[in-house]
Amino acid sequence: MKSVSRVFKALADPTRRQILQELKEGELSAGEITAKFPISGPSISRHLSILKGADLVAERREGNRIVYQLEPEQVAGVVGDFLSAVCPTQVLRSRKRKRSKR
Amino acid sequence: MKSVSRVFKALADPTRRQILQELKEGELSAGEITAKFPISGPSISRHLSILKGADLVAERREGNRIVYQLEPEQVAGVVGDFLSAVCPTQVLRSRKRKRSKR
DNA sequence: ACACTATTTAGCAAAATAGCTAAATTATCA
DNA sequence: TGATAATTTAGCTATTTTGCTAAATAGTGT
């Protein structure tokens, strides 16, 4: 699937959007994220893997747990690109140019 | 459903995102839009009604046909709000403040 | 090795989504 | 009014999504 599609599909779910908002405050482990939502751990885990698949978050293992952090550049990059493609006059501000296929 | 959810669900489909991009060039009738895609008229009609339900497009009847136009303020407003909520440092530019519940 | 904690993976059921064709609707024109 | 054109609505099917519980995996501490 294309990157843009993965990102917008990821953002289509309210739980996932809220996970991103929580991560904006700082990194959190899977368990800490789960504690903030009324749904099961496995369901959160699935949401996290979708967010990760869209590169909206990064994960790293830290001992026993897995810690997630927001990737604001991907969020702003992909969504911002779409926004400036569709309504160039409304949006915009100098964003870092994306490095081509690093 | 909440407005933000309707918007992001609407944007989750690639055909719908592309419809918005086509409309960016100027308004188009349902038939003209259909002609640009490889899927059936009724399917396009459904996509249009989802976009309309999210206020991403407006429609008006013009004689025989129904003409659609982009609502760039809704696109930029909702998506931009999310963007500045999640990654305030990356994005941003003065956007018109949304009039409260007109 | 064993127990314990944190997390993911598997497998299932219910709901939502997107496509199709056929039928209904709305407007135009003779 | 009757025919034609443009579009939507209805009804169907296949696929995807989201939630769950149970089981597997990975790391820590004894």
Look at residue B96 and tell me whether its pLDDT is greater than 80: no
Residue of B12, B80, B87 lying closest to A9 (CB–CB): B12
Look at residue B102 and tell me whether its pLDDT is greater than 50: no
- How do residues B40-75 score in pLDDT, each as one tens digit? 999 999 999 999 999 999 999 999 999 999 999 999
Q: What is the pTM of this model?
A: 0.90
CB contact under 8 A, B86 and A92: no
- How do residues B15-33 score in pLDDT, each as one tens digit? 999 999 999 999 999 999 9
**pLDDT score at B90:** 77
For B72, the closest chain A residue by CA position comes to: A87
**pLDDT score at B92:** 57
Q: Is the C-beta of residue A61 closer than 7 Å to nucleic acid chain D?
A: yes
Where is pLDDT greater, at A100 or A15?
A15
In Å, how far is A35's CA from the nearest CA of chain B?
A: 20
User: Closest by alpha carbon to A19, among A61, A52, A66?
Assistant: A52
CB contact under 8 A, A76 and B70: no
For all residues of chain A together, what is the average pLDDT?
92
- Which nucleotides of strand C are protein-proximal, with an atom < 7 A from a CB? 5-11, 17-23, 26-28
CA B24, B30, B35, B38: dihedral to nearest 10 degrees?
90
Inter-residue contact A47 to A16 (CB < 8 Å): yes
CB contact under 8 A, A83 and B83: yes
Report chain B's terminal Cα–Cα distance, integer Å.
19
CA B22 from chain centre, in angstroms, equals 11
Chain B residues with beta carbon closer than 8 angstroms to that of A7: none
Inter-residue contact A56 to A10 (CB < 8 Å): yes
Query: Which nucleotide in the DNA or RNA is closest to residue B5, CA to C1'?
Result: C16
Between CA B21 and CA B15 the distance in angstroms is: 10
- How do residues A19-30 score in pLDDT, each as one tens digit? 999 999 999 999
Query: Which nucleotide in the DNA or RNA is closest to residue A41, CA to C1'?
Result: C7
Look at residue A80 and tell me whether its pLDDT is greater than 50: yes
Question: Residue A47 belongs to what H/E stretch?
Answer: helix A41-53
Between CA A44 and CA A34 the distance in angstroms is: 6
| A13-49 core/surface letters (b: 16 or more CB in 10 A; e: else) | beebbebbeebeeebbebeebbeeeeeeeeebeebbe
Lowest mean pLDDT among A61-65, B48-52, B86-90: B86-90
- The SS3 call for residue A37 is coil
pLDDT tier at B94, thresholds 50, 70, 90: very low
Whether B3 and chain A come into contact, CB under 8 Å, resolves to no
Chain B residues with beta carbon closer than 8 angstroms to that of A79: 79, 82-83
